[in-house]
Amino acid sequence: MEKYFGESVPKLGFGLMRLPKDPAGKIDIEHTKKMVDLFMEAGLTYFDTAYVYDGGESEKAAKAALVDRYPRESYTLATKLCAWMGANDEKSAKQQFYTSLERTGAGYFDYYLLHALQAGNYKTYDRYHIWDFVKEQKEKGLIKHWGFSFHATPEILDEILSAHPDAEFVQLQLNYADWENPDVTSRRNYEVARKHGKSIVVMEPVKGGALAAPPKEVQAIFDAADKSASYASWAIRYAASLEGIITVLSGMSNIDQMKDNLSYMKNFKPLDAEEQTAIRKAQEAINGIKSIPCTACHYCTDGCPKHIPIPEIFATRNKQLIWGKLDEGFAEYKASVENAGSASDCIACGQCERACPQQLKAINYLKDCASVFDKK
């Protein structure tokens, strides 16, 4: 008998948000098929997508690379309904569910989530009666388990779980870098979810790929502890070692990333005491580095009236802040804004901050970037 819901689920999930692209910028289905095959051959089963990922192409890729090629009972598929993106009323929000069924051809979803609940949008799911809607689909057998992904404060999470105690799980951003980050509140959100007895699916364990190549101070700590371990392995195993975890999603973009993750997650072992000590040292080192904690989800860019490539600009600034690569930062900034808005084009409309799952003060960060990159 399981101690908690999802205990027996393999602790690595395949996140389909950052799939490999071909030269034309489309999802490379053949490359994705090879990654799916490696994942399945390792005995792993959890796949995660969403209605809004890649404009719907992620769900279509799930059909082509997974659903059309494997028996339905051999894997589990999660997707999400976003009532605040890609929808403008109750009907269009609910239609996302049926569109996802059609795109994936899965017949039903093993895990279904209300997508990216945060301070500015979570009441939309009440207004559109989405909570009742997903429970109706579960009664019909079209959903096996349902929950929600969350990007806000522990107070709001407590409010939501108190109002909807029948939610079976929560998807949270948990990683060692954000554990005490006041903008993300990973630890406190984790504690609220566990207080309510909820199991957790982990997203952004590698912080949008940033922890696969952490600052040199962190690299030195991990190299001293285990030179053979990849930096990403520390991040994913840290999240998977927490109590009450269903699985840890990794948004793998190529076969090398898949092989690396499988090397330590196929037969997952929680971090031991010495490894936990290395993590604490890494956390202390990261807390001393000034940087922009953007995960490059790009939720901020779709509605930007000035078409500013915000995550790319933040990445170029971080190259300077974290790595001290001033000239490379300038060069990459120039390339990223060549056919788009610049940091100084920001009109402070606030659209990006309302959309940001990390609750970043993006306007202030853009002002900083403009002061550095757009000097006259």
CA–CA separation, 176 vs 178, rounded Å? 6
Residue 260 sits in the same domain as residue 328: no
> How does the average pLDDT of the chain come out, rounded?
95
Per-residue pLDDT of 104-144, as tens digits, reads 999 999 999 999 999 999 999 999 999 999 999 999 999 99
Per-residue pLDDT of 19-57, as tens digits, reads 999 999 999 999 999 999 999 999 999 999 999 999 999
Domain range for residue 120?
Answer: 12-287
298 in a structural domain: no
Percent of the residues in the chain that have a pLDDT greater than 90, as a whole number: 87
Residue 259 sits in the same domain as residue 351: no
Residue 56 sits in the same domain as residue 20: yes
Residue 363 sits in the same domain as residue 250: no
Number of folded domains in the chain?
2
CA–CA separation, 189 vs 359, rounded Å? 14
Mean pLDDT of 242-247: 98
301 in a structural domain: no
- Do 93 and 83 form a contact (C-beta atoms < 8 A)? yes
The model's pTM is 0.84
pLDDT above 70: residue 376 = no
Burial of 39 (0-12, 13-18, 19+ CB in 10 A): buried
Residue 28 sits in the same domain as residue 161: yes
293 in a structural domain: no
231 in a structural domain: yes
Per-residue pLDDT of 53-112, as tens digits, reads 999 999 999 999 999 999 999 999 999 999 999 899 999 999 999 999 999 999 999 999
297 in a structural domain: no
Residue 260 sits in the same domain as residue 321: no
Between helices 231-240 and 273-287, what is the axis angle to 10°?
110
4 in a structural domain: no
Residue 264 sits in the same domain as residue 350: no
Domain of 208: which CATH number?
3.20.20.100
Q: How far is CA 67 from CA 27, 91, 105, 190, 293, in A?
A: 16, 27, 7, 32, 35
Residue 38 sits in the same domain as residue 146: yes
233 in a structural domain: yes
pLDDT above 80: residue 346 = yes
- Do 107 and 72 form a contact (C-beta atoms < 8 A)? yes
Q: How far is CA 272 from CA 5, 53, 238, 267, 302, in A?
A: 24, 36, 10, 15, 42
Amino acid at 232: A
Q: Say what the pLDDT of residue 291 is.
A: 85
Residue 205 sits in the same domain as residue 322: no
3 state SS of 214: coil
